[in-house]
Structures are given as structure tokens and as C-alpha cells.
Amino acid sequence: MDDGMKLDTVAGKRVLITGAAMGLGKLFAERAVREGAAAVVVWDINEVALKQTAEELGALAAATGRGGVIHAHAVDVSARDAVATAADAVRAETGGIDILVNNAGIVRGNSYFWETENPADIDQTIAINSLAPMYITREFLPAMVGGTSEARVLNIASSAGLVANPRMSVYAGSKWAAIGWSDSVRIELEHAGHKHVRVTTVCPTYINTGMFEGAKGFLLTPILEQNDVVETAWQAMKKGTPVVIMPWTSRLNKALSGVLPIKLRDLFLNTVGVYHSMDEFTGRK
């Protein structure tokens, strides 16, 4: 990338993080506060947990002397109208957003697709994992493009969007959509010459946030530590790195899936354990 577009810090920037009440989202918000973001906007559907997180972030801002203002909004990101209303409120409060972290997500699994009992689970998974990042980014990207300062969009996708996996077909499909959209927007910005706005797509395997409780790591691929994922994603976002796939075994699986005949691909992924990683999945209660 152009070194002139490197973002060394989010100090003075306005940062919005979705799914920020816990897990990765909360850690991203803490990063923003510690770096001195002028405003840290946190969205989550869990109003109780969000309120607690906002209080903790406010205390952190006071303790570090960074002085950033915390704005908390209970938002159902699966509802386009709710996203639009919350975005209007954010613009009224902060004037706009410089750094957008699309982190909110859900997972449904441990059953074959035809065993899906509630079709609403399909709708919700697609709405939150695929459509919400599109709706939210559409709200803030035009102003980023129209500005002149460095701006970033960080989209948390999944390695499940790179390689097919049984017992999580809808989730995988939602993340395939998210990856295709996210990286396409990156290319659009490059084609249009808007070098000050960068999109980073992060594709991790299972993370120890509780969201993937019961999922199993596979050959040379343990469950990822959430702090490691946040550190890697945060630094990549600031550098403007286009795509991050972690760990290295996910990059290998993706590469082999692209060159091996289907039967050999399935044999390989089945042997190393990818195709059985969701057999005992329970998820967050």
C-alpha cells in the first residue's frame, strides 16, 4: 500500500464497533480508547451488557487520561431501519465515523441443513452476518469517501467463508457473502482512486469467545485466542492490509481447495478434521 496512507494510530478518530458488548467487539473498543480515539461508539443488541461495557470503557478513558467520549446504542443490526436510525443518531453525536469495525455476528450449527427446524434462524444468520455489514457500511462510507483523512472499514468474516464445512452451511454461506462483498468494496475504492479509505477483511477460524463453544480445532489449528485475533486484525486495519486469514493452516486449506480435485479436497479436509470440527458444537448459551 502507499506508505502515505498508513494509519499509525486511531488517536483523534471516531470509531464505531458493532457487537461491542462482549468478546472481540469489547476488546476492539478497549483498543480504540487506549489509543485515544476522540469518540468510541459501541453498538450491540444486548442492552444490559452494552451498558456495563460502556461504563467500563468510560472508566478506562478516565484512567488513561485519553478523554475519548463513549456513545452506546442498543441496535438490532439485522433490521435495516434500526441501523438507519442509529446511524442518524451517531452522525448527530459525532459528525461521522472514521473507523468502522463490523464485528457483530451469530452462528448456528451442529445440524445438517435439512434438519433446520426454524427457518427464522436462516434469515437471522444472513441478516446479521451478511446484510448488516452492508447496511452499516453504506451509512458511513460515502462520508469517508468524500473526506480527505485516512478512514478504515474492518470486516470480521470467517475462515468458514473460504472452505465448505458441514453442519454450518448457512453460517458458511453468510460468511462467503460477507467476504465477497467486503473485498469487492476494497477493489471498488482502489478503482475509484480513494486511497485514503481502506477495507480489511479478516477471516479467522474458531475463536475462544464462547460463540463457538463445543467446536473443535483440527490438525495444527487450535482454537484461536481472542486477544491474538484482535491484535492481528487491529494492526492490519491500520496498515490497510486487504485480507487477513488466520492461522496459516486456513490459508493452506484455502489454497489446496482451489487446486485439488473435489474428491481429494474432501478427503484432505475430512482427514485433517475440518469436516468434523462442528460435530459437538453447542454455541453460547
**171 is known as an active-site residue:** yes
From 112, 135, 171, 206, active-site residue: 171
DSSP string, the chain: --GGG-----TT-EEEEES-SSHHHHHHHHHHHHTT-SEEEEEES-HHHHHHHHHHHHHHHHHHT--PEEEEEE--TT-HHHHHHHHHHHHHHHS--SEEEE-------SS-GGG---HHHHHHHHIIIIIHHHHHHHHHHHHHHHS-S-EEEEEE--GGGTS--TT-HHHHHHHHHHHHHHHHHHHHHHHTT-TTEEEEEEEE--BTTTTTTT---BTTBPPBPHHHHHHHHHHHHHHT-SEEEESHHHHHHHHHHHHS-HHHHHHHHHHHTGGGTTTT-----
Give me the active site residues, please: 171
